[in-house]
Structure 1
């Protein structure tokens, strides 16, 4: 038997051996469902926040619980996506958008109730909207995933907002200021980091398309 015949016999009569392509990850999966559920909870949170003129202890507790649950899904959907290989481009884009919608609704609500300075809400909103637009600006070159700094920023924002949402005595006001101050600092620092990453990604994409 010749080498050619032997090779043909090993790989199948006249056919080359090949590995099957990887199964594509479906967009409709449990991780993305959790992300979408976070978006769906935003209007419910807003309704609870403004019920009872925004000062009713029971409704503030409900609003805080809804905000906390919605924020928790951010941790769960990320873990599920990584654990079971359900990471999709849709999830990479929808997840930060859901975070921004929830955080933005809480900040605007607190400012409308006169409990948080509008400058804080404006600064964070400009950063979040700007980063979202930045993601779409470079999306043809690639997706900018959430960084560790971005996750730390989100967690700090969540902790600060929960402190403001809870019907707590005035004595804890300094704690609220410290948490929100840390959130503002992380918001600015990570915003600069995202801009630099987007510029590098766009430059690399242009080099790849233009060729040598």
Structure 2
């Protein structure tokens, strides 16, 4: 197994670590500001999530730069992304920091685009990640980190950064999903 695929696999192994640190409360450090509490375990979860999310770009960069692109990697990378994002979204719903409809919308978009890619792959067409999709991923990571740490440090000044980040995440998720289907409508028409 090459280095890029090992990094992708590491991202999958970090998923339960992120979920565990999110859902199991450790009281070694707690700060409450404006009725919002952030724990040490949430800060650790945010850090692990950021590390895992960062590996998404790293594995692709290494695979392309070192010419290590494999079919296994093409399969594993999007799977790792979906597992990480879905697990954190579901955990945030469980923590009552995210509305279920937001998680459902984002996870549905991920599955829809994956389905489109599978149909395209069956036709021998590769659908690469668009620039808009990369921005979508960035807004998802920012919003989820803000939710994980319960809007800290913005809660100090009462600024609803987490709420604004969720709105941006929803807008970017919808926009990138529509973009994929509009730009690749020929794939759907070919299969019909």
Q: TM-score normalised by the shorter chain: which range applies? A: 0.7 to 0.9
Distance (whole Å) between structure 1 residues aligned to residue 5 and residue 159 of structure 2: 36
Deviation track 1:32-90 (CA, whole Å, cap 9, x = no partner) reads 22111111111111111111189771211111111011011012112112211222343
Indicate whether 1:40 and 2:13 are aligned: yes
Give the alignment partner of residue 60 of structure 1, picking from 42, 45, 61: 42
Give the RMSD, CA atoms, in angstroms: 2.2
The structure whose residues are more often strand, as a share, is 2
Specify every segment of 5 or more residues in structure 2 that has no aligned partner in the other structure, as ranges: 28-36
Match of 2:172 in 1: 186
Larger radius of gyration: 1
Match of 1:3 in 2: none
TM normalised by structure 1 equals 0.76
Indicate whether 1:78 and 2:60 are aligned: yes
Distance (whole Å) between structure 2 residues aligned to residue 163 and residue 56 of structure 1: 11
Indicate whether 1:155 and 2:138 are aligned: yes
Contact residue 92 and residue 145 of structure 1 kept, 8 A: no
Ranked by relative contact order (alpha carbons within 8 Å, sequence separation 6 or more), the top structure is: 2
TM normalised by structure 2 equals 0.83
Match of 1:6 in 2: none
Specify every segment of 5 or more residues in structure 1 that has no aligned partner in the other structure, as ranges: 1-27, 207-212
Instruction: Give the drift of 1:202.
Output: 5.3
Give structure 1 regions of 4+ aligned residues with deviation exceeding 6 angstroms: 53-56
